[in-house]
Amino acid sequence: MKRIQDRYSYALIVLRGLVKTDFKLRYQGSFLGVAWSVLKPLMLFAVMYVVFGKFLRMTDGTPTYPVVLLLGICSWNFVAEATSIGLHAIVDRGDLLRKIHFPNYIVVVSATCGSMISLAINYVVVLIFALFNHVHFTWRVLLLPLNVIQLWALALGMALIFSTMYAYYRDIAHIWEVLQQLIFYGMPIIYPLSYVTSKGGFYAEVARFELLNPIAQTIQDIRHNFIAPETQPTVWNQFGHWWVPAIPLALTVILLWVGIHVFRVNSRKFAEVM
Amino acid sequence: MSEKNKTVAENATETAAVAKASKTPFADAPVVLSVNHVGKSFKLPTEQATGLKQAFINWTKGIKGYKTQEVLKDIDFQVHQGEFFGIVGRNGGGKSTLLKIISQIYYPNKGSVSVKGKLVPFIELGVGFNPELTGRENVYLNGCLLGFTTEEIDAMYDDIVEFAELEEFMDQKLKNYSSGMQVRLAFSVAIKAQGDILVLDEVLAVGDEAFQRKCDDFFTEVKKDPTKTVILVTHDMGSVKKYCTNAIMIQDGEIVARGNTESVADRYTLANIEAEKKKGEKAAAKVREQGIYPNGLNERCPILRTYAESNEVCKSSDTFRFAVEYQYDEPGDFYLAIALHDIRRGGITFDTGAKTFKMKEHGHHTVHFEMPLNLFNNGEFRLFTSLRTPSPANPNNTDMVAVAVDERACTFVIRDPRNWDYALINNRALQIEPVGDDVEITGKVAQIEAQLAKTKAGVSVAADDAAETTTATGQAVKTEGK
């Protein structure tokens, strides 16, 4: 028991050290320093708000849609960033892995934790926009942490798989970049899901199945619980059967399990193959 | 000799010749690191295979895409608490791999490693050091990577800074440090880290003289501390002899010598001599192919070589046998002169004289010699042979035609438990006798005196000793000639 505790306390110390360093280094040398971590999303969101909301008039007809859009984009950005940085983590930290012994899953976890910090800051910025848009918050906001944990589990599972593959095959980085785009447009992130479902027919049926994709499901849940419980379709309210929502949840668990398993099997050899 | 050391001596190939296996003072201390029959092999890619395309092509063609290289074979040793354990070996011998296995960076294919206590590895100094962070931040980052909590680092922080002598620079970014300062900081973290087992890889050669002295003090201190164990990998035989209480030597993935530090260090020196000789031979073969004469030889005498016929590691009681191969086709008298060079102490220990050995055979021929070694203490020696013709101007003089140097010289080593290392001539061969009664002869010399006295009195003694006393006065080098 003591050994397990020792092992994880060491892992936690290393994790804290790495996350802290990465965060410190992120805005190193810039004039405004850490302030950028808030300023950057604030400015980016302002641009997107104007372009998508006012200029392109991308909307599902509800006044809160611009905020919903921001929430979706920054949630997706978290997945994209965590997996891309996580993918490179093992190779980028190769010098560490070759020289000291420490639980090497830490470097991947720390990469996703770094993105989690950005996500938290982004959510705060979204909250500011939401307040300006007179969003009515409900008790469902309390469910948000669960959704965020699911999103993190998804990102971590993918990051573990990709970083393992990347240690052997550098092609993965490029493949994943392209796949990211595909997934991005295959999910209702910049377009509202109702935009497709309202058209009816075959496409509407297919669109509903987009919600079985755990990433789409999580992002829709986040939007639903955080901003717009009335207007956002989720896997919970689109299908009549109780077992349908279990599919994306199960997929999340399976993805994370596969990630951990693949990583563990190969992690002994990382120091040698790099 | 303890039971353990005995088996160790039996297992190790070639060890017996060199090792003066003795009971270490740590044999009773608990084992903190145990390496059990560890074997490790690497897959070396034969073609570029870091791409999906290549991997797929290899798979379809059924190419493995790599060859297996065995780096470590059945390495087995224990380190006891409090030991200062040295691992030596030539480059590419597998010691870094072994170190990484000990540090659990690599996993062995065979066998296992068990560690008791906190092992702090320093495969490289300053792991995780980032130039953009300040000295202080780097110390904390480095410390946490080595597995210390913030509180633990707090406790040793002042010590580290003081040892590194960088008090006023700790809030500067690391990129503003000189390289020497960076190394000093990294090294201070390394040695002030409060681990139970320190694993150090070639890190002794850093810093200026004052810093080196501090490190020296530190090692001496650690050596005295019975709770700290140090595993040191190095090329520097001086530091091995100075600090280590026990050592192993690794060559081609195997332990070729173990136990007593002195003997392992000497074995290492010998291995280097052998490797140099091999390298020289290779170079010579290349030179021969190209039709150029190697250093010291020429068209008049294209072959001149001295080589050992007996074992190159001798005891003082041995007679060293060697041969000289030459080719000399010009008519007229010619001579071989042989000089004995002391590699460690320097200087020509003995010379046959230019006109002592007159050769009877012209052409390609080999002559054999032998030489008693009972005069000498431990040391490394080299025999240089030169081929000479009488000088037409001065009949007492000779002109050198060719000389056998580099790999054509013959190197041998004397290792004898009865010998000392410091002086050239041993106490059995030469004594300084006090005149008068106010000096008492004690210790080892007294024993030798007593033995010599017995020999003179005609009492039967061990065969070697008898042989020694008679030949000591005889001719040093005698021809057997064919």
B97-105 mean pLDDT: 86
| % of chain A exceeding 90 in pLDDT | 21
A49 in any annotated domain: yes
A269 in any annotated domain: yes
B271 to chain A nearest CA, in Å?
28
Q: How confident is the model at residue B338 (pLDDT cuts 50, 70, 90)?
A: very high
Q: Of B42, B100, B133, which has the smallest distance from its Cβ to A21's Cβ? A: B133
Closest CA in chain B for residue A268: B107
Q: How confident is the model at residue B204 (pLDDT cuts 50, 70, 90)?
A: low
B150 to chain A nearest CA, in Å?
8
Output the pLDDT for position A146: 92
The answer to whether A198 faces chain B, any CB pair under 8 Å, is no
Higher pLDDT, B58 or B346: B346
Output the pLDDT for position A262: 93
**Rounded CA separation B130/B104 (Å):** 24
A21 in any annotated domain: yes
A120 in any annotated domain: yes
Output the pLDDT for position B205: 59
Q: How many domains does chain A divide into? A: 1
The answer to whether B432 faces chain A, any CB pair under 8 Å, is no
A128 in any annotated domain: yes
Partners of residue A97 in chain B, C-beta under 8 Å: 105
Choose the weakest-confidence range: A85-89, B59-63, B394-398, B462-466.
B462-466
The answer to whether A28 faces chain B, any CB pair under 8 Å, is yes
A4 in any annotated domain: no
Closest CA in chain A for residue B129: A96
B456-468 mean pLDDT: 49
CB contact under 8 A, A13 and B128: no
A234-246 mean pLDDT: 77
A5 in any annotated domain: no
Output the pLDDT for position B5: 44
A97 in any annotated domain: yes
Choose the weakest-confidence range: A166-175, A181-190, B419-428, B463-472.
B463-472
Size of interface A-B (CB pairs under 8 A): 72
Partners of residue A99 in chain B, C-beta under 8 Å: 105, 121, 123-124, 127
- ipTM higher than threshold 0.85: no
Output the pLDDT for position A253: 94
Q: How confident is the model at residue B18 (pLDDT cuts 50, 70, 90)?
A: very low
Closest CA in chain A for residue B42: A272
The answer to whether B55 faces chain A, any CB pair under 8 Å, is yes
Q: How confident is the model at residue B65 (pLDDT cuts 50, 70, 90)?
A: low
Q: Which of residues 54-113 of A touch B (CB under 8 A)?
A: 95-102
Helix A65-92 and helix A214-226, axial crossing angle in degrees, nearest 10: 130
Choose the weakest-confidence range: A6-20, A72-86, B197-211, B451-465.
B451-465
Question: Does the pLDDT value for residue B225 go beyond 50?
Answer: yes
DSSP 3-state percent helix, strand, coil across chain A (nearest 5): 80, 0, 20
Q: Of B52, B127, B141, which has the smallest distance from its Cβ to A21's Cβ? A: B141
Q: How confident is the model at residue A158 (pLDDT cuts 50, 70, 90)?
A: very high
Q: Provide the residue range defining the domain that includes A219.
A: 11-273
A72 to chain B nearest CA, in Å?
33
pLDDT in tens, B123-172: 777 777 888 888 888 888 888 888 788 888 888 888 888 888 888 888 88
B92-121 mean pLDDT: 84
B415-425 mean pLDDT: 83
Domain architecture of chain B: domains with CATH: 272-417 (2.60.40.1930)
**Rounded CA separation B243/A189 (Å):** 66
Q: What predicted TM-score, i.e. pTM, was given to this entire model?
A: 0.69
pLDDT in tens, B352-374: 888 888 888 888 899 999 999 98
